[in-house]
Amino acid sequence: MSRIVYVNGDYLPEEQATVSIFDRGFLFADGVYEVTSVLDGKLIDFAGHAKRLQRSLDELEMKNPTTEDELLEIHRQLVARNDITEGLIYLQVTRGAADRDFAYPAEDVKPTIVLFTQAKTGLADNPMAKTGMKIISIEDQRWGRRDIKTVQLLYPSMGKMAAKAAGAHDAWMVEDGFVTEGTSNNAYIVKGNSIITRHLGHEILHGITRAAVLRFAREAQMKVEERPFTMEEAKAADEAFITSASTFVMPVVEIDGEAVGNGQPGEVTARLREIYLDEMRKAAV
């Protein structure tokens, strides 16, 4: 069955939804996006995603086509119209369609806004949470403003392909000897009683899941260190994991072919996943 998607004010069957070939998202990757997960038919951390959307738009001097209330209503409409109990909602905003020119177009050009759903069972009961992921390391060759959630995702795609070719699930990217993040997630290691993850800056995306998980970790009296770490430190860690809106908290059990800790998902990781899912389900809207 075809999905109902949202394009510039209209709810349409996906086959009827179109954007211009002159859209700057298509021509220049001049657009930003968000992904919000749905559990039990409700949105997980919608407010966090709406806030980061605004930040990405502000950094690129792009207009926000909706208010937060309107955006929430669109998300809810899509959940209802597509009967989503578990899955993801993608939101894309671009600077709109204009005559091709590197310079931003005139003020009156309207941004393009598109939302679509992906039904996906097994987000919360993902079997990978029990077995863990294998990752490889690759050089981070992305641009320097990774804190803006733009639609230019080609290097992360190349990273996923490299991981796949190596028989792994994902790649962690390394810059100047330190891990930045995963291709579509934030990266963590656990050593002793410390949870270590790279500090915020232009080098990584400010994960919405990261913010919540670190808050829950601190509330549970766990020690959090926001600092860079190397691949060597990661390989010698007791546990490793990733966070993202679609995987929540997911254990990493192998890095570049070497087992992390005892090669099984760790206890700290499992506890954080449980707390995250419990708390976020309670707060879902």
Question: Binders of ligand PMP among 128-147, rule CB under 6 A?
Answer: none
Cβ proximity to ligand PMP: between 18 and 141 the closer is 141
Q: Residue 185 interacts with ligand PMP (CB under 6 A)?
A: yes
Q: How far is the CB of 109 from ligand PMP (least distance, A)?
A: 27
Q: Residue 277 interacts with ligand PMP (CB under 6 A)?
A: no
Q: How far is the CB of 168 from ligand PMP (least distance, A)?
A: 17
Is 149 annotated as catalytic? yes
Q: Residue 56 interacts with ligand PMP (CB under 6 A)?
A: no
Please select the residue that binds ligand PMP; options are 208, 214, 260, 272, rule is CB under 6 A: 208
- Cα separation of 151 and 205, whole Å? 13
Phi and psi based region of residue 264 (left: phi greater than 0; alpha: psi -120 to 50; beta: remaining)? beta
Cross-strand partners of 33: 92
- Cα separation of 162 and 171, whole Å? 8
Contact 98, 108 (CB under 8 A): no
Q: How far is the CB of 34 from ligand PMP (least distance, A)?
A: 8
Residue whose C-alpha is closest to residue 230's, from 191, 178, 186, 160: 178
- Cα separation of 1 and 178, whole Å? 45
Q: Residue 197 interacts with ligand PMP (CB under 6 A)?
A: no
Cβ proximity to ligand PMP: between 98 and 179 the closer is 179
Kindly name the residue from 51, 110, 149, 191 that is annotated as catalytic: 149
Residue whose C-alpha is closest to residue 99's, from 21, 8, 19: 21
3-state class (DSSP) for residue 154:
helix
Q: Residue 50 interacts with ligand PMP (CB under 6 A)?
A: no
Span of 1-9, 56-64, 86-94, 177-185 interacting with ligand PMP by CB under 6 A:
177-185
Alpha helices of 147-244 — where are they, by DSSP H?
A: 154-165, 208-219, 231-235
Q: Residue 160 interacts with ligand PMP (CB under 6 A)?
A: no
List interacting residues with ligand PMP (CB under 6 A). 35, 181, 184-186, 205, 207-210, 243-245
List active site positions.
149
